């Protein structure tokens, strides 16, 4: 498809397990972003990729969170030893970098930690 694709759309897991969330950005978009949205709230920035490198990781809440991007395309957000406070919708967005550009969002992964 032409849009940003995220998988899985829903993930339910037990506290303490590791989870991997995947994002396929729009082809040709060199910038990729991860955000977290807790219930009823706005989005919190997690990490930004320019190509395969991450010049801004300032939003990652703890060292249990990590992300990588390969081939200037797919990105994976990994949460290790999940906690109940990790429950949220994780949204990925991509954009062109040049100038003032809007970000294009996927529908997110709804993560529930039991």
Partner 1 sequence: SQQGEEDPQALSIQEGENATMNCSYKTSINNLQWYRQNSGRGLVHLILIRSNEREKHSGRLRVTLDTSKKSSSLLITASRAADTASYFCATVFTGGGNKLTFGTGTQLKVEL
- SS3 at position 84: helix
Restricted to residues 37-76, the positions that interact with partner 1 (CB under 8 A) are 41-45, 48, 55-56, 59
Closer residue to partner 1 (CB): 17 or 45: 45
Tell me phi and psi for residue 50, to 5 degrees.
-115, 110
Judged by CB under 8 A, which of 21, 24, 65, 95 binds partner 1?
Answer: 95
Please tell me whether residue 104 binds partner 1 under the rule CB under 8 A.
Answer: yes
Q: Which stretch binds partner 1 (CB under 8 A): 12-20, 21-29, 72-80, 103-111?
A: 103-111
Q: Say whether residue 23 binds partner 1 (CB under 8 A).
A: no
Rounded-to-integer distance, Cα 108 and Cα 7, Å? 8
d(CA 114, CA 107): 22
How many chain residues bind partner 1 (CB under 8 A)? 26
Q: Distance between CA atoms of 86 and 99, rounded to whole angstroms?
A: 33
């Amino acid at each position: 498809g032409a849009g940003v694709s995220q998988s899985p759309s829903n993930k339910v897991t037990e506290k303490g397990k590791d989870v991997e969330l995947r994002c396929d950005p729009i082809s040709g978009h060199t910038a990729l972003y991860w955000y977290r949205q807790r219930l009823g709230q706005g989005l919190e920035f997690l990490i930004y990729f320019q190509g395969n490198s991450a010049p801004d990781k300032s939003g990652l809440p703890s060292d249990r969170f990590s992300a990588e991007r390969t081939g200037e395309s797919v990105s994976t957000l990994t949460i290790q030893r999940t906690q109940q406070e990790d429950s949220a919708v994780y949204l990925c967005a991509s954009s062109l970098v040049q100038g003032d550009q809007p970000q294009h969002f996927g529908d997110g992964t709804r993560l529930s930690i039991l």
